[in-house]
Amino acid sequence: SQQGEEDPQALSIQEGENATMNCSYKTSINNLQWYRQNSGRGLVHLILIRSNEREKHSGRLRVTLDTSKKSSSLLITASRAADTASYFCAVNSGNTPLVFGKGTRLSVIA
Amino acid sequence: DTAVSQTPKYLVTQMGNDKSIKCEQNLGHDTMYWYKQDSKKFLKIMFSYNNKELIINETVPNRFSPKSPDKAHLNLHINSLELGDSAVYFCASSQVFLGAPYEQYFGPGTRLTVT
């Protein structure tokens, strides 16, 4: 299966700390995407990183991609209570649909 | 303006009934999807339509039938509902498909509870 696997399943940190979530996948990809899902809501696209990119930034988000290890990480710096959500990675292999992992539940405690 | 909307937001029904969920997107995207998210938050694609044509039909019981009257709408009809159909169903849309990087825009979800 191409499914991304996030690690850890759950993460609890204090406000102001950094949060790091990891994603591993199994085969070659076109791109990898990260999404956020607040409780009771739909997923919101955060960032897309192409297979030929190694790092990407968006505000307090930093995503890295290591295609040799088939892994990606999402770093949220200076976390806020509003960052509390589930975070999903999704891999695109071109002619297949996005395949989502099971997510990391992040709790940011004020 | 809501980009991807779904109705209803909640749906409670009894086993054996038939129900529909509607989805509309105003983003001008060519491709729309239905996903099912189970109680463990696992998100699995069910169907994908590109320009009103069915592109992907994953292993889904044929009690589920998508219909796309135009490229802005993708509805999901479910016959003979079963307890295991209880989940949150998400509609999504994207601009490009098949080989081109794309981000998906999700609707708010429809929580279906079958009793």
Of the candidates A42, A95, A99, which has its C-beta nearest B90's C-beta?
A42
**CB contact B39 to A (< 8 Å):** no
Q: Any chain B CB within 8 A of the CB of A44?
A: yes
> CA torsion sign, B42 to A10 to B105 to B1?
positive
- pLDDT above 90 for B17: yes
Residue B55: the pLDDT is 77
For the residues B24-34, what does the mean pLDDT come to? Answer: 93
Cis peptide before A8 (omega within 30 of 0): yes
| Number of domains observed in the structure of chain A | 1
**Residue among A23, A37, A56 with most chain B CBs within 10 A, to mutate:** A37
Cβ density class A37-71: b for 16+ within 10 Å, e for less: beeeebbebbbbbebeeeeeeeeebbbbbeeeebb
Whether the Cβ atoms of residue B22 and residue B6 lie closer than 8 Å to each other: yes
Domain of residue A13, residue span: 5-109
Q: In chain A, what residues touch B44 (CB-CB under 8 Å)?
A: 100
CATH number of the CATH domain containing A55: 2.60.40.10
Nearest-CA distance A103 → chain B (Å): 7
**Cα distances (Å, whole numbers) of residue B16 to B11, B20, B81, B87, B101:** 14, 13, 5, 16, 40
Per-position pLDDT tens, chain A of length 110: 456 778 899 999 999 999 999 999 998 898 999 999 999 999 999 999 999 999 999 999 999 999 999 999 999 999 999 999 999 999 988 767 788 988 999 999 99
Specify the pairing of strand A55-58 against strand A43-50.
unpaired
